[in-house]
Structure 1
Amino acid sequence: MAEGGSVTLEELRKKLEDFGRVRNWEQHHTPRNLVLALVGEVGELAEIFQWKGEVARGIPDWEEEEKQHLGEELSDVLLYLVRLSDMCGVDLGKAALRKIKLNGIKYPAPVSDVESHEGSNSGVKEEQV
């Protein structure tokens, strides 16, 4: 895992497992405790946006310090979510891909006029489902 490069959920899971083990925190990392900590972190993330009004995509008007703080809070949420999924025996990556597929079924992409007249979904790519 290179500094500044992409990281997988599995790499994060292993790092969090090691981090907790060397600090003897495993006893505290129960699903209930992790969910409550996650909710707290989501609250801290929400506080960042609380008085901002609508925020433009890419947050172009934010100071660098605000962007860094946002990244830290997003990371806290991600890390607790990864740890929670590990403690519950859920492969978060697989679960997320499955959920995207289910959402594609529940909320199908619009069908073009040509396809609707033909009665075909052949133009819908697998990743759109």
Structure 2
Amino acid sequence: MNEDEQHEKDFKFSETPTLEQIREMQSVFCKERNWDQFHSPRNMLLALIGEVGELAEIFQWKGSINVGLPDFSEKEREHVSEELSDVLINLVRLADRCRLDLPSVVLRNIQHSPQRDSAPATTKTSKLFKPRPCNKE
């Protein structure tokens, strides 16, 4: 097992905070500042897209990036951490403002994935993957 495989096997997120704890902390933070009036689902989606854009800027001119970001400086890794945190906070806030139980939706989505996304014949290229159909109702 090479170093990347070992790290991938050993890597885990911390157990706290949960998504519900993040939702609650952000909700309290926003209520204290009277920001709910500005946090429509549309506005939260646009804020989320902005944060994803800030994250993308870090990676934009890097070329190939290895798992674990071994070629990133400590300052760059910290910047990635901050932007990922902003993305998650905004995603959780968007789900909250849409009144969608994000952990339940994620679980349901993962449980349905085996039927929707069968394993490819090879894992050598991403070209085998097809876009998922849009489930418009």
Question: Please, what TM-score do these two structures have when normalized by structure 2?
Answer: 0.74
Alpha-carbon separation, structure 2, partners of 1:43 and 1:16: 21
Displacement of 1:5: 6.0
Alpha-carbon displacement from aligned partner over 1:87-128 (angstroms, at most 9, x marks no partner): 111000010111111222112347xxxxxxxxxxxxxxxxxx
User: Which of 31, 44, 64 is equivalent to 2:41?
Assistant: 31
State the identity %.
52
Report which of the two structures shows the higher radius of gyration computed on alpha carbons: 1
Alpha-carbon separation, structure 2, partners of 1:16 and 1:61: 33
User: Which of 68, 77, 89 is equivalent to 2:87?
Assistant: 77
Displacement of 1:6: 2.2
| Aligned residues between the structures | 108
Question: Please, what TM-score do these two structures have when normalized by structure 1?
Answer: 0.79
Residue 43 (structure 1) aligns with: 53
The RMSD of aligned alpha carbons is 1.6
Long gaps (5+) in structure 2? 1-13, 121-137
Alpha-carbon displacement from aligned partner over 1:22-57 (angstroms, at most 9, x marks no partner): 011010011010001111111111111000001000
